[in-house]
Amino acid sequence: MDEQPRLMHSHTGVGMAGHPGLPQHMQEGTGGTDGDGRKQDIGDILQQIMTITDQSLDEAQARKHALNCHRMKPALFNVLCEIKEKTVLSIRGAQEEEPPDPQLMRLDNMLLAEGVSGPEKGGGSAAAAAAAAASGGAGADNSAEHSDYRAKLSQIRQIYHTELEKYEQACNEFTTHVMNLLREQSRTRPISPKEIERMVSIIHRKFSSIQMQLKQSTCEAVMILRSRFLDARRKRRNFNKQATEILNEYFYSHLSNPYPSEEAKEELAKKCAITVAQVSNWFGNKRIRYKKNIGKFQEEANMYAARTAVNAANASSHGSQANSPSTPNSAGETGSFHCFL
């Protein structure tokens, strides 16, 4: 018990040795009563704490070193450890395993689905470009919009990735910094690995909440982009003249059974530079609209019938081919009113 004052005094003595500039008035108190001395010691320590920011780094280092080298340091450290051991139990309860945030997962999934996060989809854009090139002039307008969308998306992706990387780096830097600090401090105060772990997880949580904000805003940006562009697929564009002619040609030359097979649809889609689904849509629309008002389409029907007839005639005269089964067939069908109904 009586070691305490001695320890304190020698402590301050060490401190004073390292800091000649500190106020000396406390030193004079050593001659007073025990209680007074203790109070003065506390005041001394407080004073030192208050002026700690005035110290230079070198002074602080010297002071720390002095503390570490003090002969009573291990004993005091053990005491601190013991105290800590008893109090730390209450803290441990606060550490619960947090489940993965469902909202964060939702954001992650969406970013992944949109191709913002995850692997760089260079192949995807190349494929799209190839497809656009293959479709020729037909898909030009469509691909123009698409490439615009793609460019904006990749812009978002780039920003997202650089920001994410920045956060990641900052987080790592900060973590290692804190770890170093704690490791350094663990020489003078007891710090359990669990505490370090906890501190790291706190840091990570903080940074991940920042990341979540980033993901949130990225998602919003993508959503806006989607509504502006991809939902513009609902903002339809009429097929070009050539495509409509090809489709009409097929329709009127198969008027008795205007239901192209899957293969036929694929071929038509390829020829018209549209998708098979669009071919299906077109035939669905055409059939119902033709049926609803045959008279309105009569002119069109005759026109295509004549055209196919001329084509067939040209083909037969030029190639002198005996077999041209589609020609009489189509001509006959176009005239007939008892079509696919």
Partner DNA sequence: TTCGATGATTTACG
Partner DNA sequence: CGTAAATCATCGAA
Q: Summarize as ranges the residues that interact with DNA (CB under 7 A).
A: 233-239, 244, 259, 262, 277-278, 280-285, 287-289, 291, 296, 340
Question: In terms of CB distance, is 107 or 274 closer to DNA?
Answer: 274
Least distance to DNA, CB of residue 117, Å: 26
State the nearest-atom distance from the C-beta of 126 to DNA, in Å.
24
Is the C-alpha dihedral spanning 185, 186, 188, 189 positive or negative? Answer: positive
Smallest separation, CB 107 to DNA (Å)? 24
Residue nearer to DNA on the CB measure, 54 or 262: 262
Structure token digits, residue 283: 């035939």
Of the two residues 86 and 338, which places its CB atom closer to DNA in the complex?
338
Burial class of 90 by CB neighbour count within 10 A (0 to 12, 13 to 18, 19+): exposed
Q: Closer to DNA at the Cβ: 18 or 260?
A: 260
Local structure of residue 32 (DSSP, 8 states) = S
Shortest Å, Cβ 262 to DNA:
7
Give the DSSP letter of residue 184. H
Q: Closer CB to DNA, residue 156 or residue 273? A: 273
Report the alpha-carbon distance of residue 250 to residue 291 in Å, rounded: 16
- Give the nearer residue to DNA in terms of CB position, either 247 or 312: 247
CA gap 230, 273 in Å, rounded: 19
DSSP codes of every residue in 225-293: HHHHTGGGGSS--PPPHHHHHHHHHHHHHTTTS----HHHHHHHHHHHTS-HHHHHHHHHHHHHHHHHT
Tell me which residue of 162, 168, 138 sits closest to 218, measured CA to CA: 162
Token pair of 175 as six digits = 């973590």
Q: Report, in Å, the least distance between residue 337 CB and DNA.
A: 16
Nearest partner of 117 among 108, 125, 104, 127, judged by Cα: 108
Smallest gap from residue 326 Cβ to DNA (A): 20
Is the CB of 30 or the CB of 147 nearer to DNA?
A: 147
* Residue with Cβ nearer DNA (121 or 287): 287
* Smaller CB separation from DNA, 230 or 309: 230
Distance CA 77, CA 215 (A): 45
Q: Measure the CA–CA gap between 63 and 17, rounded to whole angstroms.
A: 9
Is the sign of the CA dihedral 215, 221, 227, 231 positive or negative? negative
Least Å distance, CB 299 to DNA, is 11
- What is the smallest separation between the CB atom of 259 and DNA, expressed in angstroms? 4
Which two three-digit tokens encode residue 60?
Answer: 């602080």
Q: How many CB atoms lie within 10 A of CB 153?
A: 21
| Least gap, CB of 254 to DNA (angstroms) | 12
